[in-house]
Structure 1
Amino acid sequence: MADSPVQSLGFAGLDTPLRVANPAVVRPLLDPVMAAWPFTVTENDPPASAAFATISPAETGKWRLEAPLAAKPVTEYDPVNAICDLVVEMSWERLRSRPDLLCLHAAALTFNDRLVIFPNARRAGKSLLSATLAQRGHAVFSDDFVLLQVTPQTGAISGIANGIAPRLRLPLPDNLSATLHSWIMDRIAVRNKQYGYLTGIDLPQSGTTAPVGAIVVLEGDPTMTEPASLTPVTQEAAMASLVTQNFGRQVHAGAILRVAEALTRTVPVLRLRYNSVEDAAALLHETPLLRDLPAAQMAEADMSATLPLAPLDLPDVMVDRPVDLDCHFAKLPDFTALETGTALYLADGDGFAIHRLNPVSAIIWTLLDEGLTGAEMAEVMQELYGDVPAERLRADVAGALEFLWQERLIAPCSTRQMEV
């Protein structure tokens, strides 16, 4: 296979191409999966260093995927599993090419002219739900990762279609109707024993945009006997769902918090509890709660705040001695704080990480504005929690300060610095 032809596929929106060896073998499986992601073909043999990945059939019958920036730079898999890994690497390459985009582990489908986002939830079956909604005519922007962009001039938050066919686990569940089972299997064009890619559906071209109109948190419950239900979710619960599903590569953590807050504030956030995926899809398709949806919108104040790209890595802050509770600490500049209900989220000024503070750390964060030493904070905590031993409270305060220090949110300073 060393003398096999090589093609360079330049996918729209990616800065570097995909290198395909022996395209006569690879393309019949790859093309249906990327059915709605336009690409150009160059018939040459580009060096591997010029491509974000190289995919090629191996002598063993497996396919070899070489992606230097992946967690595993070289892998050999069954052809369909190799394509699964390639899809993941293509999503990362898209973020490398557009580091300003946010990205959520989620499915996203259109309901009229709005995009409804379904954040990832363990064993919730978002891909199967996406397929079932596709049967009812809903366009699938993504069944796995959703790119989000904010229009600078208007603050509108939109989702971007990825153009990749949804991937389903095989075999399909036994509780599907014969009609749905046949509809799905008739459209599985690329498959092995584990996975199948669903083709022949309404799959918008990669790069197509639609305003975000709602968020639906999935809660699959195999023990349910009652019909599927759709109920409002608090902003606090919605924030927790969105923040934990973000994997934007270089988006500043402060920007992620602001966009998540805007989403949960300006569009409906609902929880879908269900057992039967067909029951759930019917409810979503018919409910008036997903009609005449608003468009997600950033606040003007957040639109005007520009944040740099976050670093890809930072050296650890070394706290190499016990926290001195007689010391003063100060908040480091440019942090982002967001409070929803009883939850407090913080992003450091570098934009490297988002933290949801526990109750003790949240109180300590507030007390930092009073100019107190760690020991004085412990005395305040003693007034709040009189039944907790003083030494335990001092240890809790020290632990909270150490955590905030390590995460680049505060730093120790002298009394003189505090007074200045």
Structure 2
Amino acid sequence: MTRTHANTTHGGARGLRAPDPCVTRLGFADLFHAVELHGDDALRDTLATVLPDWGCAPSPGNLAPGTPVTRVRRDDGEYGFQSWWATAPLTKLGVAGATCGVVADLVQAYLDARPGVFGLHCGAVRLGGQLVAFTGPYRAGKTTLVTRLGTEPGGELFCDDVLPIAPDGMAVALGVQPRLRLPLPDTMPDGFRAFVGRNLTVHDHRYGYVALPGQAAFGTRAPLAALILLSRQPGAKARFHRLDTSEAAAHLIRQNIADPGEVEAHYDRVSALAEGMACLTLVYSDLEDAVALVRTAFDGTAQAPRIADPGPPLDRTAAQEDADPADMDVMFRRSGDVVERVIGSDTFLWQMDGRHFFSLNPVGGAVWTLLETPASGHDIAAALHAAFPDVPRAVIAGDTARLLGQMHRRGLLTA
């Protein structure tokens, strides 16, 4: 698969200063991607800790032509991270933040090297022999929930961020340690807080990776038994609701970060995947309440989840309208912690904080391009109307206001 990316010279070095005389280049087993460490090679051990089975090792000599390169520079105790897919670096990162950026590039490289592999943005854990994927909207709590479930007896964490699904329908564990945002919130249960404190590996003031004794090793395969869409609601008792297969399939399509390939075949495959597993919505507020409910449902005594009386499917229309339309007079600019990735015809914006992906269709991608320099909503709508003169101005203005409102709420834009 050929990936479209913004870097055309030096493997994405634009935005960082000229290389230091001493550069450590790292390679990874069976991966056509290199990582260069400028100014400090301590991140080598960090990556080996977080990615224990990826064969991280020095790679001396010349790079093969066309090798994608991720670059990290340490300067005055802080890190700059230049993604292969981005035009500008992320700066002023701690060691865990820089590690997170490198891991994201390596996972994307893993997917790129395997055409036909689906990349589901989710957390996944095997409980009672059944692999369960958890996904949901912005800050639904998936990483915290799957990490907590991974501490349960017999719990086996497959991922907290991206789950590859092979063409045969089998999911593959990447063996990446889960990463939590620090400091932990005051509402975190004492027992889990203590566990995290004892098992932190790579960490800084914003993020911390956690070692789980039951983490699935890189390459472990299992069929997906269930997809659970998370809906965190203040004060709600943990409960399951049915999730229509069509809604589950639509969510899988939106959460795929790999190149979908031929559209019709992709849709057929996603529909078959959704039809072959249990699809549920989990409403919850309290972490331990949710853990108890999930453990009861997937206790290994049956091939299907044990749920006595799930509620009806939820109306998710209101949940999708998660932001007020933007003020079109306001000047908007891109946030500094966002990396752009073009996959097929869609643009994905990846945020360091929370590792969230925001999918933009081609028109949304055009809006993002227009925001290379600060622009008002009116400026953007005018440019779009020039490109689509047959669409009424009012329609373009309304769509632009809604998109900018969503992007601003997510922290992708600043005003």
- Scaled by the length of structure 2, the TM-score of the pair is 0.64
Matched, 1:4 2:22: yes
Moved beyond 4 Å, runs of 4+: 21-24, 47-51, 288-291
**Matching residue of 1:374:** none
Q: Secondary structure at the match of 1:15?
A: strand
Q: Which is richer in helix?
A: 1
TM-superposed CA distance for 1:131, in Å, is: 1.3
Partners of 1:65 and 1:173 in 2: CA distance:
27
The answer as to whether partners of 2:151 and 2:212 remain within 8 angstroms in 1 is no
Amino acid at match of 2:138: R
Aligned pairs for 1:266-345 (under 5 A) are 266-287=276-297, 291-293=301-303, 312=344
TM-superposed CA distance for 1:98, in Å, is: 0.9
Partners of 1:159 and 1:266 in 2: CA distance:
13
TM-superposed CA distance for 1:266, in Å, is: 1.9
- State which of 143, 147, 150 in structure 2 corresponds to 1:127: 143
- Scaled by the length of structure 1, the TM-score of the pair is 0.63
**Matching residue of 2:118:** 102
Partners of 1:278 and 1:44 in 2: CA distance:
48
The answer as to whether partners of 1:9 and 1:18 remain within 8 angstroms in 2 is yes
Matched, 1:59 2:75: yes
Amino acid at match of 2:148: T
**Matching residue of 2:128:** 112
TM-superposed CA distance for 1:256, in Å, is: 2.6
Partners of 1:237 and 1:61 in 2: CA distance:
46
Q: Deviations over 1:259-318 (max 9, x none)?
A: 2211221211111111111110111112258753369xxxxxxxxxxxxxx99459xxxx
**Matching residue of 2:263:** 253
Give unpaired runs (5+ residues) of structure 2.
Answer: 1-18, 306-341, 347-360, 363-390, 396-415
Give unpaired runs (5+ residues) of structure 1.
Answer: 152-156, 296-309, 315-352, 355-394, 400-420
Q: 1:218 to 1:171 in 2, by over 3 A?
A: same
Q: 1:166 to 1:182 in 2, by over 3 A?
A: same
The answer as to whether partners of 2:27 and 2:59 remain within 8 angstroms in 1 is no
Partners of 1:159 and 1:247 in 2: CA distance:
15
The answer as to whether partners of 2:121 and 2:257 remain within 8 angstroms in 1 is yes
Q: Secondary structure at the match of 2:166?
A: strand
Q: Deviations over 1:32-51 (max 9, x none)?
A: 2112x321524525449664
Matched, 1:175 2:187: yes
Q: 1:251 to 1:206 in 2, by over 3 A?
A: farther
Amino acid at match of 1:75: L
The answer as to whether partners of 1:25 and 1:57 remain within 8 angstroms in 2 is no
Q: Deviations over 1:224-280 (max 9, x none)?
A: 2x3x11232222322232222122225322233122211221211111111111110
Aligned pairs for 1:344-355 (under 5 A) are none
Larger radius of gyration: 1
- State which of 22, 33, 47 in structure 2 corresponds to 1:16: 33
Paired residue total: 297
TM-superposed CA distance for 1:58, in Å, is: 2.6
**Matching residue of 1:89:** 105
The answer as to whether partners of 1:111 and 1:291 remain within 8 angstroms in 2 is no
RMSD: 3.2
Partners of 1:246 and 1:130 in 2: CA distance:
19
